[in-house]
Amino acid sequence: MISKDSSVTGFVPGHTHGSVDYTSVDHGHVHQCLDVTSPAIATEDGSHIHYTEGYVLFENGHVHHYRAYSGPAIPVGDGRHVHYYDFYTTFDHGHRHRVRGVDMPAPGTR
């Protein structure tokens, strides 16, 4: 059985990633972004990406939504990998926010 702490060589179908991040500071405030991706989407080069959609937390009296894809898998050692993400939220209340970072490691090297 593969758990979130497993070390695996190769691709693990069906896995997801979580992330906890803050948006950029825009219009004098930030939002927290809590996210869980879709299951892995295989790419032609033998790697994979993830789709995500949701909203940043209700802060400063409003929310922003987002839809985005991650970058390809980045091996980080010990049979695990992460993905880089970089996207913008919707434009609401006269501004938008950028969200970028790396998600939490998951089993698999590609």
In a domain, 6, yes or no: no
- Predicted TM-score of the model (pTM): 0.90
Query: Average of pLDDT values for 23-51?
Result: 95
pLDDT tens sequence across 69-89: 999 999 999 999 999 999 999
Number of domains forming the structure of the chain: 1
In a domain, 94, yes or no: yes
Range of the domain at 43: 18-107
In a domain, 103, yes or no: yes
- The partner residues of 92 in beta bridges, in order of sequence, read 95
Q: Is the pLDDT of residue 12 over 90?
A: no
In a domain, 37, yes or no: yes
Give the span between the Cα atoms of 65 and 45, in whole angstroms: 30
Give exposure, 65-77, as e/b (b: 16+ Cβ within 10 Å).
ebebebeebbeee
In a domain, 90, yes or no: yes
Q: Is the pLDDT of residue 94 over 90?
A: yes
In a domain, 43, yes or no: yes
- Tell me how long the chain is: 110
Give the span between the Cα atoms of 109 and 8, in whole angstroms: 7
Q: Is the pLDDT of residue 5 over 80?
A: no
